[in-house]
Amino acid sequence: MNPVRVSAKDVSVFYGAKQALFDVAIDIPERSVTAFIGPSGCGKSTFLRCINRMNDTIDGCRVTGDITLDGRDIYDRTLDVVELRARVGMVFQKPNPFPKSIYENIAYGPRIHGLASNKAALDEIVETSLRKAGLWNEVKDRLDEPGTGMSGGQQQRLCIARAIAVSPEVILMDEPCSALDPIATAKVEELIDELKENYCIIIVTHSMQQAARVSQRTAFFHLGILVEAGPTEHIFTNPKDERTHDYITGRFG
Ligand SMILES: Nc1ncnc2c1ncn2[C@@H]1O[C@H](COP(=O)(O)OP(=O)(O)OP(=O)(O)O)[C@@H](O)[C@H]1O
């Protein structure tokens, strides 16, 4: 396994009085894709949102335990959450470009984080991010057009480019292909495969086929418990726990 980028210990999450996650512990390596799988409501998205503190924005949600990014406690009171969310980017189920131009969708983050000293530097970040997201050739002649006018698959790659533009270390993806057709899905999966060379990617997916295609490691959640995590091929061919076995063989889910 590559060196650990994100480490969680004893993580529990409560929505009001209801506990949604129980003592989750996992190490997530850099430069690879880790998939979170499990039946609906098992807590995959809840745990994903702990990693960039998106749960802070949900009223009544409480997180206990420890999560570190490169060894640093992300729940430390002195930590700047805005900076954390740049280091740990997020891509959602439904593509959500800003109602602005393609250029502005990418330039917004680097500008507010002060990553470009002048227009040329900003142009460079926009181009590099769009190239990394495999979109540059498709959009270079229409950077001033609205991001919302692109196809769904292009919009999702735009959102990935937007996450990349602020130089994150981790990219969280919550079912990033669930609103896409098979061709757009294949493109996003191809992109995820390329991005893993440089980023720690964590993807929540309902599709076991997708987890098998894109991830090197898989974590299986069930009823708020992280049942087991390990190399994807072990989880799919030789799981240790009966619950994992039942899920991957389609007995429930
Ligand atoms: N904002 C919220 N307020 C209250 N309960 C919530 C909230 N979000 C999630 N939950 C509950 O927490 C549990 C875990 O939900 P979560 O969305 O993390 O599961 P999931 O595995 O991602 O599900 P799915 O695959 O359906 O997206 C569920 O019982 C859900 O109802």
- The tens digit of pLDDT for each residue in 30-86 reads 999 999 999 999 999 999 999 999 999 999 999 999 999 999 999 999 999 999 999
User: Whose C-alpha lies nearest to ligand 1, atom 12?
Assistant: 20
Ligand 1 centroid distance, CA of 125 (Å):
36
Mutate to test the pocket of ligand 1, among 36, 44, 47 (most ligand atoms within 8 A of CB): 44
Please indicate, yes or no, if residue 193 is contained in any of the structural domains.
Answer: yes
Nearest CA to ligand 1 atom 31: 41
pLDDT value, residue 253 = 65
Neighbours of 209 (CB within 10 A): 9
Q: Cβ neighbours of residue 173 under 8 Å, at least 6 residues apart?
A: 90, 91, 192, 201, 202, 203, 204
40 part of a folded domain: yes
State which residues form the domain around 118.
4-248
The answer to the question of residue 237 being in a domain is yes
Whether residue 253 is contained in a domain is answered as no
HEC per residue, 60-111: CEEEEEEEEECCEECCCCCCCHHHHHHHEEEECCCCCCCCCEHHHHHHHHHH
Distance CA 87, CA 82 (A): 9
**Domains identified in the chain, total number:** 1
Q: Is residue 96 part of a domain?
A: yes
Residue type, 163: A
pLDDT in tens, 153-168: 999 999 999 999 999 9
Asked, for residue 199, whether it belongs to a domain, the answer is yes
Ligand 1 pocket, Cβ-based, cut-off 6 angstroms: 15, 20, 38, 40-46, 58, 206
Is residue 49 in a domain?
Answer: yes
How many angstroms is it from 139 CA to the middle of ligand 1?
36
Is residue 70 included in any domain, yes or no? yes
Q: Are the C-beta atoms of residues 106 and 125 closer than 8 Å to each other?
A: yes
3-class DSSP state of 246? helix
- Percent of the chain whose pLDDT exceeds 70: 100
Q: How far is the CA of 46 from the centre of ligand 1 (A)?
A: 6
Q: Which two three-digit tokens encode residue 211?
A: 């987890």
- The number of the ligand 1 atom at minimal distance from the alpha carbon of 206 is 25
Question: Would you put residue 10 in left (φ > 0), alpha (ψ -120 to 50) or beta?
Answer: left
ipTM of the complex: 0.97
Q: How far is the CA of 53 from the centre of ligand 1 (A)?
A: 15
pLDDT in tens, 110-169: 999 999 999 999 999 999 999 999 999 999 999 999 999 999 999 999 999 999 999 999
User: Which CATH number belongs to the domain containing residue 187 in this structure?
Assistant: 3.40.50.300
Give the pTM: 0.95
Cα 250 to ligand 1 centre (Å): 21
Q: How many CB atoms lie within 10 A of CB 117?
A: 8
